[in-house]
Amino acid sequence: MLTTFVRVIILYTLVLITMRLMGKREIGQLQPFELAISIMIADLASVPMADVGIPILGGIVPILGLLTLHLLISFINLKSIKAREIICGKPTILISKGVINEKALKKERFTVNELEERLRGNSMPNISDVDYAILETSGQITVIPKPEKKGTTLEDFNIVPKYEGIPYNLVIDGKVMYQNLKIIRQRL
């Protein structure tokens, strides 16, 4: 029982460190290769956690191998546009100049109802208000409204607001954040 507990702590720590080294993306923003690696890491960690008969290195070595693979793929993505297109894909324009691209919808296996749902999720309840809708490689949809449907900004009225900077918490969970106080004092 104690052995299983220690193995869980070791593997959990390793998976946590591995995921942190992989980056700070939300689940919905993971590229397909990142999602696949995440699922595989979870599976590799669960086997030696549950079965004491399997050496713990049987989980650690493949997890470190996947981390290495992830870091290599990420490096290649940074260095090569062509490799990035192959590994991650390219964004697809689903609506162009207000017109739904039926071929793109079919290619991406997207229905008009799914498109409408995603547009509503982007505060665009009416397709006729959309100039462009782009299906990003992460699966998110970026919506660019028609010019007349964009919200007004202070810039539209030639108003330049006073710079406010970033807000800093001074107390978190009942503890004074002295580092934030120092930053605020430096800015005064």
The set of long-range contacts for 41-45, using a CB threshold of 8 Å and a minimum separation of 24, is 41/15, 41/66, 41/67, 42/15, 45/11, 45/12, 45/14, 45/15
Name the pTM for this structure.
Answer: 0.66
pLDDT digits (tens, 9 = 90+) for 160-187: 888 888 888 999 999 999 999 998 888 8
Model confidence at 28, pLDDT cuts 50, 70, 90, reads low
Domains along the sequence of the chain with CATH? 2-87 (no CATH), 92-149 (3.30.240.20), 163-187 (no CATH)
Task: Compare 166 and 120 and report the one with higher pLDDT.
Answer: 120
pLDDT digits (tens, 9 = 90+) for 70-110: 889 889 989 999 998 888 889 999 999 999 999 999 999 98
